[in-house]
Structure 1
Amino acid sequence: MHWAYEIAKRLIEKHPTKEVFTCASGISPSGSVHIGNFREIVTTFFVVKALESLGKETRFIFSWDDFDRLRKVPQNVPASFERFVGMPYSDVPNPFGEGSYAHYFEKEFEQSLQAFGIQPEFIYQSVEYQSGRYSDYIRIALKKRKEIYEILMRFKSSPFSSEQSEAFFPITLYCDSCNKDTTAISAFNEELGQFEYTCTCGNEGVQSLGGKNRIKLNWKVDWAMRWMMEDVVFEPGGRDHSSATGSYNVSKAIAKEIFDYEAPDYIAYEFLGLKGTNEKMSSSSGNVLTPNDLLLVYTPEIILFMFAKYKPNASFHIGLDDDVLRNYSEFERYQSAYAKGLIKEDDIRLTLELACGGSIIRHPSFSQVASIFSLIGFNYELLQTSLSRTGQEFTMEEINPISDRVAHWIIYWNPHRLVSINQVNNVLYYNSLTTEQRRKLNELTELLRNETSLSGDSFMNQIYAICEEDDKKRMRESQKDLFQNVYQLVIGQSSGPRLPLLISAVGREKMVKLLTFS
Structure 2
Amino acid sequence: MGWVAEAGAGGHGTELNRNIYRRACQTVSSEVERTPKPVSFSLLTSLLDVTHENIEQVMRIVSQSTGDAMLSPEMLEPRLTCARNWINDYLPDDERTPIQSTFQTAAYEQMSEEQRRMISLFSSLLNEHWNYVGLTDLMYNVPEMVRGVPLDVKPDTALKQVQRSFFVAIYQLVCGRETGPRIPTLLLSLGREKTHMLVTPPRKEACSSL
- Give the TM-score category using the shorter length: 0.7 to 0.9
Counterpart of 1:504 in structure 2 is 188
One-letter code of the match for 1:405? C
Q: Which residue of 422, 433, 436 corresponds with 2:100?
A: 422
Mapped to 1, the partners of 2:35 and 2:100 lie a distance apart of 39
Secondary structure of 2:126 counterpart: helix
1:392 deviates by 4.5
Paired letter, 1:374:
D
In structure 1, C-alpha distance between the alignment counterparts of 2:79 and 2:167, rounded to whole Å:
26
Which one has more relative contact order, counting CA pairs under 8 Å at least 6 apart? 2
> Structure 2: which 5+ runs fail to align?
150-154, 204-210
For 2:42, the equivalent position in structure 1 comes to 367
Is contact 1:380–1:403 with CA below 8 Å preserved after alignment?
no
- Name the counterpart of 2:19: 350
1:431 aligns with 2:95: no
| Displacement after TM superposition at 1:446 (Å) | 1.8
Describe the shift of the 1:348–1:362 C-alpha distance in structure 2 as closer, same or farther (beyond 3 A).
farther
Question: How far 1:417 sits from its partner (Å)?
Answer: 2.2
Deviations 1:131-163 (A, max 9, x none): xxxxxxxxxxxxxxxxxxxxxxxxxxxxxxxxx
Contact kept? 2:41, 2:79, Cα under 8 Å: yes
Match of 1:460 in 2: 136
User: How many residues in Structure 1 have an aligned counterpart in Structure 2?
Assistant: 180
Structure 2 residue 68 is the aligned partner of structure 1 residue 390:
no
Amino acid of the structure 1 residue aligned with 2:51 = I
The one-letter amino acid paired with 1:440 is M
Determine the C-alpha separation between the residues in 2 that align with 1:414 and 1:462.
Answer: 30
Q: Indicate conservation of the 8 Å contact 2:61/2:132, yes or no.
A: no
Max radius of gyration: which structure?
A: 1
1:478 aligns with 2:142: no
Check the 8 A contact 1:422/1:489 in 2, yes or no: yes
Does the 8 Å CA contact 2:58/2:189 hold for their aligned counterparts? yes
In the superposition, the TM-score normalised over structure 2's length comes to 0.73
1:405 aligns with 2:82: yes
* Closer, same or farther: CA 462–375 of 1 in aligned 2, 3 Å: closer
Write 1 or 2 for the structure with the bigger share of strand: 1
Amino acid at match of 1:435: E
> Contact 1:371–1:497 (CA<8 Å) still a contact in 2?
yes
Using the TM superposition, give the Cα deviation of residue 439 of structure 1 relative to its aligned residue in structure 2, in angstroms.
0.3
Distance 1:432 1:425 in 2: 13
Task: State the one-letter code of the partner of 2:58.
Answer: L
- Provide Cα deviations, 1:443-483, integer angstroms capped at 9, x if missing partner: 1112212225432xx65334312223677111111111111
More helix by share: 2
CA RMSD of aligned residues (A): 2.7
Q: Is the 8 A contact 2:129 2:138 kept in 1?
A: no
User: Does the 8 Å CA contact 1:364/1:398 hold for their aligned counterparts?
Assistant: no
